Amino acid sequence: MLFKTSDNVKINYELTGKGKPIVLVNGFGAYQEIWSAQVPFLNKLGYQVLTYDHRNMGKSQRTEKGHTIERLTQDLNELTSFLKIKQAIFMGHSMGASIIFCLMKNNPKLVKQALLIDQSPKMLNDENWKYGFMDYTKENYLKKCQERPRVHETYNGLDDNVYAKLMKAKKANPFNRKDNVDLLENHMSLDWRRVLEKTTIPTTFLLQRKVLIIERDMKRSLNKRIAE
């Protein structure tokens, strides 16, 4: 199904099931097919599930405009309004979690609960924050964004059925990283810690097993900032 945003960009989405709404938000360069195992599982639990592709990605319209987290958040806001979703649980992976951070800031009443997968609230490391993305800093991130990082998106790989659907989606609608680097740069530059410090929305970070110690120390750092 297609939805047209206020700046006339067509967003592809799927809404399945009945019950309380949960919105699954993709990461950078991802496809809504990445959630194909979670959707039927959540439907069986009694949730209505919304998945979609960001502008310039997946089955959504290719466009040179609106390559910012703020605009992608507005797209999501407009889509949920169009579907008459007044409040939902939001689950986001990587950059998708940053879109939820932005939504928590701009329209907190829409977010009943936030589930954030493998995403730091501040991507750039500095002397007071060591929980950013790899070795990215304010000084080097623009250069590093031009390179494709050698990281594994999943800890245990993908289910065969999910992998097959994902490969089909990628073949049908290839992702052009170069055309979206400006979005990546914007995503990397943002700091959402103040949003987390002020929010009353129930928020859960879901991290890979190997980085649980980072989650613990990151919580300590955020708690220290709140106390100050």
Banded pLDDT at 214 (limits 50, 70, 90): very low
pLDDT at position 26 over 60? yes
Supply the pLDDT for residue 225.
53
Entry pTM: 0.91
The pLDDT tens digits of the residues spanning 32-61 come to 999 999 999 999 999 999 999 999 999 999
Residue 18: CB atoms within 10 A of its CB come to: 9
pLDDT at position 83 over 80? yes
* Ranges assigned E (strand) in 28-165: 47-52, 88-93, 111-117
What's the mean per-residue pLDDT of the chain?
Answer: 91
pLDDT at position 192 over 70? yes
CA angle, 192 then 196 then 198, to 5°? 115
Supply the pLDDT for residue 158.
83
Supply the pLDDT for residue 207.
78
Bridge pairing between strands 20-25 and 88-93: parallel
pLDDT at position 227 over 90? no
The pLDDT tens digits of the residues spanning 116-142 come to 999 999 999 999 999 999 999 999 999
Average pLDDT over residues 66-76: 98
pLDDT at position 228 over 70? no
Are 139 and 115 a contacting pair, CB within 8 Å? Answer: no
Supply the pLDDT for residue 35.
97
